[in-house]
């Protein structure tokens, strides 16, 4: 059961081959056995989870099932879930019990899905390796001495180890796609505004986007049909007609034009990863697609632009954690200002403090025009690069990450090297475009992801492109040994 698709699991539940309670218990047992070493989950509540499974079984018996009713999902611990501890991987929110549901959680609850638990993540989603979590490092199931990627590393490890049927994640600069590449599964970042951010603890509001993490493109399409939709509580949520993201899965790829940015195959890309990506592109040519060379000249500026804009927004968003209303409060202090200072000093980790300081600096008087305003201007140029590229091609392809999973601690003392792990993904967030990573093979026995970037609201086409590749290959079915 652990390797079956969401569609297969739904069919098994509908035909009474297995009940939701039995399926959920199967995953809970795997979590008990494997999570102590992998550290993929922060919070589990077996009673709550099994109660949802029982309700799902009743719903199925009454003929009221949806495509995900009774199926157990892992939820990234950035989504508020009523009655669940919601920590965002931080000491600041270590004991916070969410009083309401995020829109994404509501969507899954309304569809009858089962919440297995809250997955580990980099603190406040700031990181590319899941090493900044207050609750400890997550280990990559393919090699437990290596990172799973971040910030959605807990969901990624849970996916790779089959500790859930599928999982949710968020992507601010690559936090779904990069761990999908490092852990060998399919992850999709939708167009900005397609999935509501309501109840998703904010890092950088103009970049954050929730998305599905699953075994295959088909599974991601099923999840997108649940997650997407207008939400009036989120001012950035887009009011669009609902669409069926699985509608084009079986379309042939004859005539598809794939853009290959020269900047994605230049210095910095691992030679072994480059070989795997080129082989995947060759497979697309066999499927009838044609490739065209394109350029995204401002790609090299995406890292410095991101690390001006994202920390600026983070410094604003994280100012709410002051020890007064919720979150960590220092035990001893002399006055209100001392309480603020000590609570924030104790409650935030090193990477979060670094980004708050950078963000506050670039927003300060005398530096705003030189840094923040300039970064926003270059952000527009990056978006224009993509606009020009899509006049030449239907989708853009390249590596999801410059290398395979690196060893735990290898880049911990080198923030710039860590930031460069997102060199191929960040520009997509800056432009608000959809992007996804699919398994494309292995380098040194570690997974390699192929990134597919689409035009605005082109998720259905991207899922079609990914699905056709997955029908012709079996990389997405591979599992780590011993799991």
- Cβ proximity of 466 and 436 under 8 Å: yes
What is d(CA 231, CA 252) in angstroms, rounded to the nearest whole number? 34
Task: With CA atoms as reference, report the closest residue to 149 among 185, 173, 119, 177.
Answer: 177
Where is 75: in which H helix or E strand?
A: strand 72-76
**6: region left, alpha or beta (phi > 0 left; psi from -120 to 50 alpha):** alpha
3-state secondary structure of 184: coil
Q: Which residues contact 78 (CB under 8 A, 6 or more apart)?
A: 86, 88, 89, 121, 125, 170, 200, 201
How many CA atoms, within 13 angstroms, populate the side-chain half-sphere of residue 150?
Answer: 32
Task: With CA atoms as reference, report the closest residue to 176 among 207, 137, 146, 149.
Answer: 149
Q: Which two tokens stand for residue 119?
A: 């997955």
Q: What are phi and psi of 325, to 5 degrees?
A: -90, -45
Catalytic residue among 133, 151, 196, 237: 151
The dihedral over CA atoms of 433, 112, 31, 154, expressed in degrees to the nearest 10, equals 20
- Cβ proximity of 169 and 177 under 8 Å: no
What is d(CA 20, CA 42) in angstroms, rounded to the nearest whole number? 23
DSSP state of 19: -
3-state secondary structure of 34: helix
Catalytic residue among 90, 175, 246, 437: 175
417 is a catalytic site residue: no
Task: With CA atoms as reference, report the closest residue to 152 among 193, 104, 118.
Answer: 118
175 is a catalytic site residue: yes
Catalytic residue among 19, 76, 137, 215: 76
**Can you name the residues that pair with 10 across neighbouring β-strands?**
none
Where is 404: in which H helix or E strand?
A: none
CA 303 to chain centre: 18
Q: Catalytic amino acids? A: 76, 151, 175
């Amino acid at each position: 059961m652990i390797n079956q698709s969401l569609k297969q699991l739904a069919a098994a539940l509908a035909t009474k081959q297995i009940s939701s309670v039995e399926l959920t218990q199967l995953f809970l047992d795997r979590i008990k056995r494997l999570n102590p070493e992998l550290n993929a989950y922060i919070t589990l509540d077996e009673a709550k989870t099994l109660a949802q499974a029982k309700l799902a079984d009743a719903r199925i018996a009454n003929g009221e099932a949806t495509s995900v009713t009774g199926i157990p999902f892992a939820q990234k611990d950035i989504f508020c879930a009523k009655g669940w501890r919601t920590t965002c991987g931080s000491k600041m929110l270590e004991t916070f019990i969410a009083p309401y549901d995020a829109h994404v959680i509501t969507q899954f609850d309304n569809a009858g899905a089962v919440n297995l638990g809250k997955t580990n993540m980099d603190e406040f989603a700031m990181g590319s390796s899941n090493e900044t979590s207050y609750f400890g490092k997550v280990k990559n199931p393919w090699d437990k001495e290596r990172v799973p990627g971040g910030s959605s590393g807990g969901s990624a490890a849970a996916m790779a180890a089959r500790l859930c049927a599928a999982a949710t994640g968020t992507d601010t600069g690559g936090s779904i796609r990069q761990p999908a590449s490092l852990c060998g599964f399919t992850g999709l970042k939708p167009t900005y505004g397609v999935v509501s951010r309501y109840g998703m603890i904010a890092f950088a509001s103009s970049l954050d986007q929730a998305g599905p993490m699953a075994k295959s493109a088909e599974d991601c399409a099923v999840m997108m049909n649940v997650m997407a939709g207008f939400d009036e509580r989120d001012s950035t949520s887009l009011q669009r007609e609902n669409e069926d993201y699985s509608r084009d899965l079986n379309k042939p790829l004859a005539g598809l034009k794939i853009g290959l940015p020269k900047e994605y195959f230049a210095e910095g890309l691992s030679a072994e990863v480059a070989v795997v990506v080129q082989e995947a592109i060759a497979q697309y040519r066999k499927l009838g697609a044609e490739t065209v060379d394109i350029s995204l000249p401002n790609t090299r500026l995406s890292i410095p632009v991101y690390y001006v804009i994202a920390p600026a927004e983070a410094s604003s968003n994280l100012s709410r954690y002051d020890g007064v209303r919720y979150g960590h409060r220092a035990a001893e202090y002399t006055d209100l200002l001392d309480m603020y200072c000590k609570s924030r000093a104790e409650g935030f980790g090193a990477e979060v403090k670094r980004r708050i300081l950078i963000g506050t600096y670039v927003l300060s008087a005398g530096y705003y025009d030189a840094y923040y305003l300039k970064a926003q201007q270059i952000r527009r140029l990056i978006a224009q690069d993509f606009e020009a590229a899509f006049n030449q091609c239907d989708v853009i392809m390249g590596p999801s990450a410059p290398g395979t999973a690196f060893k735990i601690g290898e880049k911990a003392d080198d923030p710039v090297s860590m930031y460069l792990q997102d060199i191929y993904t960040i520009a997509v967030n800056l432009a608000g475009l959809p992007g996804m990573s699919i398994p494309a093979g292995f380098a040194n026995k570690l997974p390699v992801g192929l990134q597919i970037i689409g035009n605005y609201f082109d998720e259905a086409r991207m899922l079609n492109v990914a699905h056709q590749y997955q029908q012709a290959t079996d990389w997405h079915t591979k599992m780590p040994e011993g799991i």
